[in-house]
């Protein structure tokens, strides 16, 4: 009986380790692509190849929607930061396209910048990306978007907390 119990524990541990290793590998790939994006070493074809998106007839595209800001936000500063990091948001979209090549739609993220400039909260408020056949893909993309927002460094708000609701529109444009 003890041997069976130990085998079950061991097999569970092995499964957990292998899935943890996959997450670590994906995070390493994301960090590598982000570093290359920061230094502008990555061109469009390399981004398309980076996570399996190889449909050369369509170009994954991310557009910024009209954002809502609370009164203490510096809108120009936030827009500059989002524009600077839009390629990392696009990369999250490419990750989703690896699993479903027809994803399109809109995702609205909300985050709160604290009085010290740190992010207090990041969440997906709306996700209308069409044709999510795999719920794991939706969770994967949501966590990627939140992670990218958390990595951005925002300026300290003028007088109090700053709440931002920002929509991103994802589409596949024919080349």
What are the tokens at 157? 């708000």
Q: Is the pLDDT score of 173 beyond 50?
A: yes
3-state secondary structure of 56: coil
What are the tokens at 129? 């990306």
List pLDDT tens digits, range 62-107: 999 999 999 889 999 999 999 999 999 999 999 888 888 888 899 9
CATH architecture of 57-174: 2-Layer Sandwich (3.30)
Domain ranges of the chain: 1-42, 57-174
Considering only CA atoms, which of 3, 76, 90 is closest in space to residue 46?
90
Indicate the pTM of the whole model.
0.65
* CA 71 to mean position of chain CA atoms: 26
Mean pLDDT of 6-24: 52
């Amino acid at each position: 009986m003890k041997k069976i119990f130990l085998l079950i524990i061991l097999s569970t541990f092995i499964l957990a380790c292998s899935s943890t290793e996959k997450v670590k590998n994906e995070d390493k790939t994301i960090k590598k692509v982000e570093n290359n994006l920061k230094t502008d070493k990555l061109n469009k074809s390399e981004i398309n190849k980076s996570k399996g998106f190889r449909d050369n007839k369509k170009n994954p595209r991310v557009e910024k929607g009209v954002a809502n800001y609370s009164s203490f936000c510096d809108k120009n500063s936030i827009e500059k930061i989002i524009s600077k990091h839009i390629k990392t948001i696009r990369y999250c979209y490419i990750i989703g396209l690896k699993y479903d090549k027809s994803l399109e739609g809109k995702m609205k993220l909300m985050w709160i910048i604290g009085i010290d400039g740190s992010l207090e909260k990041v969440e997906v408020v709306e996700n209308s990306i069409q044709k999510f056949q795999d719920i794991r893909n939706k969770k994967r993309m949501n966590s990627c978007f939140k992670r990218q927002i958390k990595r951005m460094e925002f300026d300290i708000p003028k007088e109090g907390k700053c709440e931002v609701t920002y929509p991103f529109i994802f589409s596949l444009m024919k080349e």
